[in-house]
Chains A and B, each alone.
Chain A
């Protein structure tokens, strides 16, 4: 987000560090591909379907599969993920996974070290933003990214506010295609 910063910002500051908005799926895919130990955190909003009947969760699983990203299931999502034939790599609630991620010494879900890119997908905007704020302030060792259809200012990278679900759907499909392309 670009904004004009007043000269004497000490008097008028209203928020200082906001997410970089990325609208290009290629750019998003590149960021994901560059990550060494990414993690996808799946929230319960993905249990809903788009108008064409496709479960949002399926997009998340496709992204994880395309880029080989481990999955963290939050809330009650584990059941549906398993039903779709995927075993999540870990099960935590949102605040629990954020709590673990903010520890630089945490070994991560694969026990290979903490993650360097954490993607959040399907978490309520209020809780999601607060969790991202925690990581923004207390986890400088990692970057955060969101895949929801609205802008999340506390993330490092966020999608814009999509006016139409079809535009968002198109973005996700393109992202998956780009991830499948490999390097």
Chain B
């Protein structure tokens, strides 16, 4: 029996080696090429030992099968035997799989689209400053992709693993919350592979900027859109169609005659392709913008597009083309239909269609926009009209009951009725644009229409997405990041504006000013630019775009998140010279213990955010979420006074109890921006910090604490001071007095901290020594 098992393992390994072209000796193949569910389980379990899952059930029940509904309160189990914790973990895994699938399927679509255009042998060339083109694919699969065709290997692996993970969610299977968490971490890791495939394909296939930091500053905000021209709105994430629209306009010399603007990540993708395209704003502005009727044609692709786009568009006379099979809205599929006929029916009868051929969709969009634009009125509501409409509001507060951001828009509307627009202008900054208030209103007050008067016509600047961090930049910052003299990398990602749209810009400004590296992506990258300082500058104009202390950079859309985590891997590989090929545990262990990076998904709402964050966690990067994200149901929290902070000192080969919770949590919810500011600094502390680096990090931790929480020192400061040189000069006296008062004792910093060697693993301790 044992012999059969060995043969099976050998056969599997041979297959993997064939797929990843193991014979090409760019690095030796590590212990876990193309890992399957059990292969990194021990690493996960080690993480989960310190960062235990914290469940906040969103519902008391399980409703998945026909034996239910099952009440899971008070220790009860469902008909299949599942308990409440395992059900939460199962739900989180499902969310991560949705997110991971969305990115991977996006990657699959765009890859085939580009292979059709360029052929599978199109070389992957990310410019002269990027040699490690695919840190995730290299680390997870052990494959060095050289062509677009090679990226298929990565996606086939991701799709296969997704199927196994989804299988485990079926009723009557996995019975352990911890094993579901390990699977969720696996899904998160796969997500970063899928995202990397998608963005590499896009960069190569669309010739997006790469190996450059100083990408163009593009216009943002509806004030930037010239509504006297035909306006095409592209919405979603997949740029297959929006880029072809740009091509069509260029080929027909129409680029200056038609406005192309975008919502959500397609906006970011389109502005990587053309600096004439405009960004309307994040997802939270989608419904508002659609209802404003400025777009003559709306083209949807996939993910985070509104499911009521056809209905909303019809109300204001905008034409709709659904461009992806993920969202066809029940529309007639006109992919094979004659182009002239589609245009005629859209113009004359205002019909909406699904067109899955990007080239046809692009031509139709431009022609329809040019024909219908002159017939349409695009008028902004006046304040006088708003006052009249607002008079219907009785401030019954029904709207507040359904608001995901928990505020009473009725209060603002009643002020409008009195001619006061101050409150509604503030509320507009909190509005996430779901529209539930309006449908709840018993008096049918057109809240969104009234909000037009609150919406600023101001325009802002957003830096176009630049793709991967350059290897040359990593060489410059590797040492200061791991030593701690650059105090940290703050990655602000994902959906944008919970609880206040200004929060992200404030966070960026605070940390860039303090010489952290601030990296942005997705809708967060947009809202970072939607606030100006007293000199009228956005953070993109105020700070340099380099991956260096004090830099503020936008890597691109959601799928570009892979470049942020990829940069952490590159630090281990390029700076520390640790081999990455099929060597996930070593990379993750390095990042956890030595790279002071923290993710902030402040406005996270989607399943994609769940999988991106969980992928960060498996790689050892902690993530801070906004307060509403407690509805994701699961966090990874330590209890700093009681948890296991032991590591192996790889140089001395001994296990040391460091006492210090660094990083303290892996997935954490903060209630307020103020608290988040403090936590961001704290979660950048790593065991590897030199005394100089630690002193710099503690300086920021203490000063942010004093600024946002109040007088005094952080209550856990003693846990992070190892010896006197760790204490920042500015606070020396105060900290020393406090430490003396509580009986603090100095302890030796660990020379080379690692978790390897503290849990069962195939990886030897030697592997972490560079």
Contacts and interface: CB of A to CB of B under 8 A. Distances in A.
A126 B627 contact: yes
Nearest to A76: B674
A99 B57 contact: no
Contacts of B675: 44, 74-76, 93
Interface string A93-127: 11110111001000000000000000000011111
A138 B55 contact: yes
A126 B56 contact: no
Nearest to A11: B69
Interface string B699-726: 0000000001111100100000000000
Given A13-B69, A74-B671, A79-B710, A134 B74 contact: no
B71 A16 contact: yes
Given A82-B712, A93-B670, A137-B84, A16 B73 contact: yes
Interface of A: 10-17, 43-44, 74-76, 78-80, 82-83, 90-91, 93-96, 98-100, 103, 123-127, 130-131, 133-134, 136-138, 140
Interface string B669-706: 11110110001000000000000000000000000000
Nearest to A44: B672
Given A15-B61, A16-B61, A130-B56, A124 B68 contact: no
The 6 A-B residue pairs with the shortest CB-CB distance, nearest first, are A79-B710, A130-B630, A130-B56, A76-B674, A127-B627, A13-B69
Interface of B: 54-61, 68-75, 84-85, 404, 406, 499, 627-628, 630-631, 633, 635, 637, 639, 668-672, 674-675, 679, 708-712, 715
Given A15-B59, A95-B637, A136 B73 contact: yes
B280 to A, nearest CB: 27
Tell me which of B61, B627, B708 has the highest count of chain A C-beta atoms within 10 A of its own C-beta.
B627
B712 A17 contact: no
Given A13-B61, A99-B54, A82 B69 contact: no
Contacts of A80: 710
Contacts of B57: 133-134, 137
A133 B56 contact: yes
A30 to B, nearest CB: 25
Contact of B406 (A13, A43, A44, A125): A125
Given A130-B56, A137-B84, A138-B85, A96 B637 contact: yes
B68 A10 contact: yes
A140 B710 contact: no
A100 B641 CA distance: 10
Contacts of A17: 60, 73-74
Given A76-B674, A79-B709, 13 more contacts: A17-B73, A75-B670, A76-B709, A78-B709, A78-B710, A78-B712, A99-B637, A99-B639, A103-B639, A125-B406, A127-B628, A130-B56, A130-B58
A130 to B, nearest CB: 4
Interface of B is mostly: loop
B671 A44 contact: yes
A98 B671 CA distance: 13
Contacts of B56: 98, 130-131, 133-134
A3 B655 CA distance: 57
Contacts of A134: 54-57
Nearest to B79: A10
Contacts of A78: 709-710, 712
B639 A137 contact: no
Contacts of A103: 639
A140 to B, nearest CB: 7
Given A95-B630, A95-B669, A79 B711 contact: yes
Contacts of B69: 10-13
A94 B679 CA distance: 13
B85 A13 contact: no
Contacts of B70: 10
A12 B499 CA distance: 34
A133 B58 contact: yes
Contacts of A140: 74-75
A124 B406 contact: yes
Contacts of B54: 95, 98-99, 134
Contacts of B85: 137-138
A125 B668 CA distance: 17
A123 B56 CA distance: 15
A131 B712 CA distance: 28
A127 B74 CA distance: 21
B631 A130 contact: yes
A82 B705 CA distance: 14
A133 B710 CA distance: 30
Nearest to B672: A75
Given A126-B628, A138-B85, A75 B55 contact: no
A106 B72 CA distance: 25
A137 B55 contact: yes
B630 A131 contact: yes
Contact of B668 (A13, A44, A95, A100): A95
Contacts of A93: 668-671, 675, 679
A160 to B, nearest CB: 14
A44 B85 CA distance: 29
A134 B69 CA distance: 20
Nearest to B52: A99
Contacts of A16: 60-61, 71, 73
B73 to A, nearest CB: 5
A13 B711 CA distance: 49
A50 to B, nearest CB: 16
Nearest to B710: A79
A75 B673 CA distance: 9
